[in-house]
Structures are given as C-alpha cells and as structure tokens.
Homo-oligomer: A and B are copies of this chain.
Amino acid sequence: MPTAAENKHLKQLHILDAATRLFLDRSVTDTAIDDVVKLAGVAKGTFYLYFRDKYDLLDQIVMRRTATLFTESCRVMRARAEKEQLGPVEQIEYLTDEIIARMREDRKVTALIDKRFSACFSPKAIEEYPEMQTHIEYLTGLLETPACPGEEARRMLYVLADMIGCVCCDAILSARPYDIDELIPTIHSILRKLLEVRV
C-alpha cells in the first residue's frame, strides 16, 4: 500500500518518465511542458510543484541517465574483471569500451546527454545512486600509485570520464572531424600511456 510520501514521489516519477520519452523521441526543444504533463497524466500546476522549469527537469534526467549508464557499465566490467582476473589497465579499457558501446547503441540517449556525461559525478547523483560512490572508489583504487594518491586519482578519473564523454558525443553523433571508429584506438592509446607509467 503506497504511503502519502510514496504517492507524491509517484507523480514526480510519472513526469520524469514522460519527459524522458519525449526528450528522446523528439528533442528537448520540441517538447513543451504541456506535452510532458499530458503524457504523464498530471495537471500543469503539478509540474511546478516538483520542478522549477524544463531545464531543472532536464538536469535531473541527464543525471539519472548518466548515472545509470555509468553504474551499469561498471557492474558489467567488474563482473568480468573478477571472472577473468583482469589487470587494472584492462579493466579501465574494458569499462571505456563498455560505455562507448552503450553510447553507440543508443544514439538518442547520447544526444540527450549531449556533453554532460560527467553529470554522474555530481554530489546529487552520488547521493541518489549510492552505487556510484562504490564504483568511484573502486576505480580510484585502480588509478592510485605512490605518485598519484587518492584525491589526485579521483580527479584523474573525473577528467578521463569527461574526456571520453565529450569526445564520444561528437564522434558518435556527428562523426566530425573524426568518427568513433577512428578515435577508439586513440583513446585506448591514451589510456594505456596514462596507466603504463604506473608500472
């Protein structure tokens, strides 16, 4: 039986789901709040009860999608890392490939994320997806070296994620000036160079 609080959340979730569908199918610009509330089955006023405006809504959606994309990719990688006893470099490479594969598969989500992949590193995202925290700690561990302590490794992880997110958005969506197939070897080579030094 849903409590009052859960019910409230329900309306908010309906709005988020409806908006996500519309933002993906059409685009953010071509979606009016009117469309969102109609599809969500709530009244116009209700929208303003939960969101400041369309961009507040968009931010929340991007945060959710990037967090989902990141955590799912991490889970897949870590499962395989354990089974196959992958080394740190291999793990990072595998994770990168996994993220890129998902972005290629679902170009609409990639277009929605635009270049905000690192939104999943925001405090809000980590709070709402506690799993993020465990993955970040795990990956930070992989990047740590005596010359690169915890906080620095965490920053490096963030920069790498942002780089991959930005570069891949352009490469997947516009293929200009390079398409994703051309850039994957370059990205791998960068990752290897950064991590080999560890040795």
User: Which A residues have a C-beta under 8 Å from some C-beta of B?
Assistant: 115, 118, 121-123, 148, 152, 155-156, 158-159, 162-163, 165-167, 170, 176-178, 182-183, 185-187, 189-190, 193-194, 196-197
Given contacts A115-B115, A166-B163, A197-B196, contact A158 B177 (CB under 8 A): yes
Please indicate the chain B residues that have their CB under 8 angstroms from the CB of A123 in the complex: 176-177
When the two chains form the complex, which single residue of B118, B152, B167 contacts A159, counting CB atoms closer than 8 Å? B167
Measured CB to CB, the nearest residue on chain B to A197 is B193
Given contacts A122-B176, A194-B194, contact A162 B170 (CB under 8 A): yes
Give this chain's copy count.
4
- What are 9 contact pairs spanning A and B, CB under 8 A? A156-B186, A159-B163, A159-B167, A159-B187, A159-B190, A166-B166, A190-B194, A193-B193, A197-B197
Measured CB to CB, the nearest residue on chain B to A156 is B186
Please indicate the chain B residues that have their CB under 8 angstroms from the CB of A176 in the complex: 122-123
When the two chains form the complex, which single residue of B155, B158, B162, B189 contacts A152, counting CB atoms closer than 8 Å? B189
Please indicate the chain B residues that have their CB under 8 angstroms from the CB of A155 in the complex: 178, 182-183, 186
Please indicate the chain B residues that have their CB under 8 angstroms from the CB of A163 in the complex: 159, 162-163, 166-167
Tell me the complex Cα distance, A167–B163, Å. Answer: 7
Measured CB to CB, the nearest residue on chain B to A126 is B177
Please indicate the chain B residues that have their CB under 8 angstroms from the CB of A177 in the complex: 118, 121-123, 158
**CB–CB A189/B122 < 8 A:** no
Tell me the complex Cα distance, A170–B196, Å. Answer: 28
Please indicate the chain B residues that have their CB under 8 angstroms from the CB of A156 in the complex: 186, 189-190
Least Cβ–Cβ distance between A121 and chain B, in angstroms: 5
Please indicate the chain B residues that have their CB under 8 angstroms from the CB of A152 in the complex: 185-186, 189
